[in-house]
Amino acid sequence: MAVMTPAGDYRTSYREDMTIFPTRNSRLALWLGLALLCAAPLVLGRYELGLLVNIGIMGIAALGLNILVGFTGQISIGHAAFFGFGAFASAWLHEQFHIPVVLCIPLAGFMTALIGLVFGAPAARLKGLYLAIATLAAQFILEDFFARAQWFTGGVAGRITEPFELFGWRADREESFFYVVLAFVILMFVGAANLMRTRDGRALVAVRDHYLSAEVMGINLAYYRTLSFGIASFYAGVAGALYAHYLLFVSVEAFTILLSIQFLGMVIIGGLGSVMGSLMGAAFMVLLPEAVQMVADALAGGAIDRALRLGNSISFLREMTIGAAIILFLIFEPDGLARRWRLIKAYWKLYPYSH
């Protein structure tokens, strides 16, 4: 995956080769984008901000899954359970030990990472299909645990959580919580982008590309497979904790296998092994149901609406479009939105000589 830079590759040092944002324009775009996002709460309404917050939270979780699936080549169909575990863990830590929410969120991440390592222990020896099945089992076991562990999750009734608070500043509305999520998104994404530039990150990619060769080169397979499972769970836990303190209420029903599938869909649609792609995939997955809703609203009252009973079955239509989107992307654009984005960028860089 060569990064397209205008008119050749003039790097003369390793330092230059390792930069995340290689050109002046890309750095400029970054600062501009950040400034725009910081100004967003002044312009956008609560609903749009809520969507952005959701994209950020889902993006963090999807990034974790992408480290597992896209970078290490393992698979997990239990990501939503870890996401949920993070949500409950953060709420529980706050209520039980009165730890401030700021600390609860990373702590919940570490707790989830521990649970991830427990279920990741079989993952050290498994791959592909067997791992998919093992994580599927983890999903059902954890879901059952959520419903049963009254002390931890509040059982079937769910658990009320406290809003995020820092030095007396309460983030209990979309306008304020947006900045919290933004800060976490930046932290987690820079973390992931940097992870991929370290020895450990390259080891993960080596395990994905050819695990036998990686082992021959002295990479400890079991260690790195388990490690990537732990990192993925950490990301899921942090995202789940953010989710809990955003909604101010967590209950078991939110973390079903459908959400796990949605996370996998984000990774596939965004692009396997692409850090930015995870965020794009999350945005796609969050906005897709909105688009379905808009189409249904536009058709409401018409003949099509009456014939197909669109109004009553909007949730099924959403699920159907999610399934269809996953299949269509796999068939027609297996490298996901990240590749599309690179193509668009390359087109404009080389314009008007793009062919």
Partner 1 sequence: MDWSLLLQLTLNGLIVGALYGVVAMSFVLIYKASQVVNFAQGEFLLVGAWVCWWLLTDWQLPFWAGFLFTLAFMTLFGMILQVVVLRPLIGEPVISVIMATIGLGIFFQALMKWIFGVFAKPFPPIFAAEQVSVFGLQVQTVYLMSLGISVLIMAGFAWFFTASKHGLAMRATAFDQQVAQSLGVSVPKVFAMSWAISAVVSSVAGVVVGVVNGVSSALSFYGIKVFPAVILGGLDSVVGAVLGGLIVGLLENWAQYIDAEWLNWGNMYTIAPFYALILILLVKPYGLFGTKNIERV
171 binds partner 1 (CB under 8 A): no
The binding track of 293-312 with respect to partner 1, each residue x by CB under 8 A or -, is ----------------x---
CB of 202 to partner 1, least distance (A): 20
Closest to partner 1 by CB, 299 vs 325, is 325
- Binding piece for partner 1, criterion CB under 8 A, among 5-13, 141-149, 221-229, 232-240: 141-149
137 binds partner 1 (CB under 8 A): yes
Task: Read off the DSSP letter of residue 71.
Answer: I
What is the footprint of partner 1 within residues 47-76 (CB under 8 A)? 69, 73, 75
Q: Which residues contact 275 (CB under 8 A, 6 or more apart)?
A: 63, 66, 189, 192, 193, 196
Radius of gyration of the chain from its Cα atoms, rounded to whole angstroms: 21
**H, E, C per residue of 268-293:** HHHCCCCHHHHHHHHHHHHHHHHHHH
**At how many degrees (to 10) do helices 79-97 and 128-148 cross?**
30
Q: Which residues contact 123 (CB under 8 A, 6 or more apart)?
A: 74, 131, 134, 135, 225, 226, 229
17 binds partner 1 (CB under 8 A): no
CB of 149 to partner 1, least distance (A): 11
The binding track of 184-213 with respect to partner 1, each residue x by CB under 8 A or -, is ----------------------------xx
The binding track of 92-131 with respect to partner 1, each residue x by CB under 8 A or -, is ---------------------------x-xx--xx-xxx-
Task: Read off the DSSP letter of residue 1.
Answer: -
232 binds partner 1 (CB under 8 A): no
25 conformational bin, left if phi > 0, alpha if psi -120 to 50, beta if neither: alpha
Number of residues counted as binding partner 1 (CB under 8 A): 48
Is residue 278 within 8 A of residue 293, CB to CB? The reply is: no
Interacting residue with partner 1 among 7, 42, 43, 331 (CB under 8 A): 331
Q: Which residues contact 326 (CB under 8 A, 6 or more apart)?
A: 261, 264, 265, 268, 269
Chain contacts with partner 1 (rule: CB under 8 A):
69, 73, 75, 77, 119, 121-122, 125-126, 128-130, 132-134, 136-138, 140-141, 144, 147-148, 212-213, 216, 258, 261, 264-265, 268, 272, 309, 313, 316-320, 322-327, 330-331, 334
